[in-house]
Structure formats: structure tokens, C-alpha cells
Structure 1
Amino acid sequence: MTNKLSPKKLLLTKWTAVKPIAKQKHFLISKVILLEPPSEKIELVEIEAVYSQKTSVISWRDLSNSELWIQGWK
């Protein structure tokens, strides 16, 4: 099952890591990172762990990999 993701609509969406990352499962997209103009394509997003507030930067395309991420909090 492939999720159709729109990078422009990712901000503040909720995600569950299939395999916990540093004992964290629930994440929120806290920032959408644009590449330098003129392209201004979204390549990266900053995810924030709900419990610890630690942030990481990942490719937004990784979110469509159902072996890594589930949309919503499960």
C-alpha cells in the first residue's frame, strides 16, 4: 500500500515509527524544509518525537515507506 503524500500538506501531521527510534514511536512533522530558490522543492522534513521533543531531519519520501512509517498515531 503506497500512501499518496503531498509534501505541502505534511506540516503538523502525525506519524508512528514501525520500529521505535531511540525508544520513541510517535512523531509530529514540525517543519517542512525547502531547498534553496529558485527550485523551492520540498525534500526534507523535521520530525519531532512527541514525548521527548527531540527532532530529526528525514526525507519526506521516507514517510511513504510503510515498512518505516504509519500515518497517524497507532
Structure 2
Amino acid sequence: MSARVQPAKLLHSKWTAVTPVNREKHFIVTALIEPEPPGAGLERITLEAVLTRRSFDLPWRELQDSSRWLQGWR
């Protein structure tokens, strides 16, 4: 886990999957999901594939795993 990710700057950030699945390689963070009650900090994000528009939620800290995600489009 080498990437430094700041939760406040995640919305609309771009990511590249190290191992693409179904030709989905490039993603954009489209939503930030806070736990209940609000104000407890960021918990999850919604990523949307640029090619297929498929979206899914995942814990935002998974983006710090450089074996799975690279910041920016490559």
C-alpha cells in the first residue's frame, strides 16, 4: 500500500485498474458515502467504469492498494 490518498480529494478523481476485468480499466469516483450518523468520516466510494458506465461501491481505503489501483489514467 504505497499510494497516498486524501479522502477530501476523492470525488471525481480518476483511477486505473492494474488488472482490468471485462475491458474495464479506467474509473471515476462518482460518489462519497459517509456512514450513519453523518460526520463520522468517509467510509465508502462509488466507482464508475468509463467504458461501460457500470458502477460499484467499495471501501475508499482499497484505492491505497497499488497492486490493484493506480491514481490517474494510464
> By the TM > 0.5 criterion, same fold?
yes
What is aligned with 1:8?
8
Moved over 4 A (4+): none
5+ residue gaps, structure 1: none
Q: Distance in 2 between matches of 1:41 and 1:6?
A: 12
Paired-residue identity, %? 41
- 1:29 correspondence with 2:29: yes
SS in 2 for 1:63: helix
What is aligned with 1:61?
61
5+ residue gaps, structure 2: none
Question: How many residues matched?
Answer: 74
Deviation at 1:26, TM superposition (A): 0.3
Q: Distance in 1 between matches of 2:51 and 2:23?
A: 10
1:16-37 Cα distance to aligned partner (Å, 9 max, x none): 0001133200000000101112
Output the aligned Cα RMSD.
1.4
Higher relative contact order (CA 8 A, sep 6+): 2
